[in-house]
Structure 1
């Protein structure tokens, strides 16, 4: 039999690669000669670089960059030399987890470090990027990233703006003459699972600003500043980004990618599946195993197991999903390509115990499922 093993991470318990390994042990305990295709997955968020590095045989690279407040931090990204591919999670440089709550101020926070990561990857030979937009503490429309890449953001007097979203209220012109020329031949696959526009009640500042430290006054200030930025972006590039779905992701970083680079924004899991060649891996498979820490109604919003199931359905392959928790609303997934949803926790235990035993529990659940696959199918008279 041929199995495709395509789980996401089980947060705080297993990486996607560790989940694949546990699944394979479970399969081989029943089908020792099975063909097992390892395809660790992610949806563009945390763990995307790890998953693609494991799937494609790349490496994890660490570069010294500046965080959102300009402090030097080590940031890790994935690099697959054979495919000239870099996998960047913007949170590695501009992440909310890097800035204490009391220090968060989206008026001055910058995506400069994201640009530094891109430069480091270009220096290594990357010509394709997968960028996961999620977990940012910034609201600068990607201005800091552009500055790191060589663009100059100027006021009416020709003076360069300081970093941060609030300064964009004074933006008059964007000078691209110094931007890194290698970007002209580089493509960006943007993994994004939000559809917020750049501006307005559903935009970056209003929806995501509060968690980044913005009060009502700061939200209004930042929304107006991003409006000024959007206007200059359109006059510079000819591209309208203010109302584009996803432009408001990561504090408007989505807008910068869409306006200035050869970028395609798609659902995160679709970007990862394509980059890891998952559709091709499914050719001739008998069954697909997927999963993640929790499967419930939110899975229908485009999380990894759903993307895997949709792809398998196009190949006519059944999918079984495993989860630490199968929650409310999960039954709706049975109409979306799933043959079974299997909880892996065998009995009553604490959360800490379940997380610690995650790999062993997943292996046992997969083995039990495989034994069921060996049961003969008898037809009724």
Structure 2
């Protein structure tokens, strides 16, 4: 019960007691008898009527105030009762929800409990394995402790041996230093001798290099002296540009061919005339009739055995004549020549690679090798 309800009840009881007390007296205004008041209060001092009236007014005012408060308390009580009713309704809903939750949670709890039991079983297995592993680790730790103890003992022994070895090495090092100091002078002497030996060796190496260079020079001189040479002259009446093309290619190929014979080709100047002291190669370019071209090329040239007529055909390889020029040029104008040789060239390529040129170069080389002489 609320505290204000208790206060109201006590106040109501006091008011009832007061009314019963007042009923015992006669009021002058209302005609109520006062004998009871006199009888009850004969042994005490009689209160005045005004005091009693004031007391009644105070009590009436207090009753009005209490009535007003009672009304307020009743309203508050009504509100509290309404609130409590709502709370009871909410509590019923919560109880229903709790019931549903308990029913729903029961299955889940059973499932969770089963899972937890399975997990507990697994944990027991894992705990057993862990215990075995722990025991194994303890044994390993014990073994390692023993091993470490042995290592410490061994280390201590090794340290003592190491210190002894260090002392022995220091003593030996001291003796070696004394020996090294005593032998330093000998080392200096040996270094001086070694330096002298190196100087002599360097001199010998220099002299050997000089001798080798002289030997190589002698070999080159000997080779030059053992080589032979052929002084050869060239004569042509063709234009300078074509003459340079033909003679350049001819000289190059003859030089390569004669190099294998250790023979050098030395070109001699020939300005015409009957006096020839070296083999002479006369260049004839076949542009029309071979006979007329050959006679024109040999004009003013002696018909001697040391003169060879080189007939150059300005044609492709497939158009070259099959019959050689020495079979055609058989008259008296050509009978005294040393050789008549066919060759081929083109103005764009010079003396090109073909069977006629291979045979012709070989014949020219054979002709010239008749006149090789010792190199001067």
Calculate the TM-score normalised by the size of structure 1.
0.26
**Higher RCO, Cα 8 Å, sep 6+:** 1
Q: TM-score w.r.t. structure 2 length?
A: 0.26
More helix per residue: 2
Q: Which has the higher strand share?
A: 1
